[in-house]
Amino acid sequence: MCTVLCTLIPMNHGNVMKYQKSFSMLNGISAQFKRFQSLKKKHKMHTEACLVGGYSYPPLFSVAPMMDWTDNHFRTLARLISRHAWLYTEMIVAETIVHQKDNLDRFLLFSQEQHPIVLQIGGSNLENLAKAAEHANSYSYDEINLNCGCPSGKVAGHGCFGARLMFNPKLVGDAMAAISANSSVPVSVKCRIGVDNRDSYNELCDFIYTVASRSPTKHFIIHARKALLNGLSPAENRKVPPLKYEYYFALQRDFPELQFTLNGGITCIHQVDSAIKEGASGVMVGRAAYNNPWYVLGHVDRVIYGVLSKSHSRRQILKKYQGYADSVIGRYGSNRPNIRQLVKPLLNLFHSEPGNGQWKRIADTALRHCKTMKSFLAETLAALPDSVLDSTLGNTPSNLEVPPFTDLNSLQPPPYRSNA
């Protein structure tokens, strides 16, 4: 529309600047329309899964699965802050689900408010993966994800597990077929762009092609770093191998029938928005969402999904979280979960705010004797100014960082040619 209007205005008219504002508005509307059409196409595969939880927003933004972090307690807090972010469980080993079939609530139960939510499982034994998926059916997750990216020695170093699975794409394809055959929801794979010296773009594409051709898998979460299984700790594996976002966008070019979510090195809502504007069909954020949930998760609904909803203050969110926490203390025994476990997700809620340091010191003391969340909050919140507790999120915080997703076309590897 903007292009047509421009052709109707003579170049020598001298009043082109007069129409600049109108053109900008038309461009904005056009961009939003194209983005909507693109999302409608790319995320059609998720519609049935989302409806399981009565939810229809696509996974534009998701919180990464993180061991010991994205437990039920953190997910409850995250959902209070963002209604539309997709949440992932911690990785749960398939054998744990199979062997704990009489105690599954402890591992799989979640409140319905947590939808949309994805269960991540780990393992390579096809029979156990199939049984785990079958056991998960009654909990109505929106998707089941297989971990093929964790470089931890506790995971990758014990048989064919985690990132080591990328060495055997046929096994992963068969595993995904087994999971899907025993599940009522879509399945996905979270992987790296490579492992050790097997890190070429063609090898990555061979993995994607093989898994997708041997199973109904249509969704891949791509951590844009390779994994080094020897010599680097899990923390170093998140920082040392270079990010290659160009591999991610090349995958979108070469596999248009699949959906890819970008993961790795993304630290703020601006970068998420930039990636989506550059064509990413989804972005996954890990530690940034955990370390600063108020600002990262707090802007997701408006900036990423364009949904204007009532803003809540931290005090209001804490009141709701208190109701949850006090209702589950000791549910699985006298010390499971305990007050310390329930307070853990709150420790970054006041990141960089006045009074944060003093609040954490008081919180450490209070945890030694408080038995309920109500008594803990009553004892500690006085350390924080009312302006921090009662303020709501305003405009998106300014960020002067250059988005890392521009001008990647020239870096993309040549198009993939399958050898199959």
Active-site positions read 150
Residues 6+ away with beta carbon under 8 Å from 389: 313, 314, 315, 318, 381
Write the CB contacts of 94 (distance below 8 Å, at least 6 apart in sequence). Answer: 121, 122, 123, 125, 128, 129, 131, 132
Which of 119, 114, 53 has its CA nearest to residue 82? 114
Give, to the nearest 10 degrees, the angle between helix 373-380 and helix 314-328: 150
Separation CA 109–CA 121 (nearest Å): 14
First CA to last CA distance, the chain: 44
CB 94 within 8 A of CB 128: yes
CA dist 47 → 54, 100, 130, 221 (Å): 10, 31, 23, 18
Burial of 300 (0-12, 13-18, 19+ CB in 10 A): buried
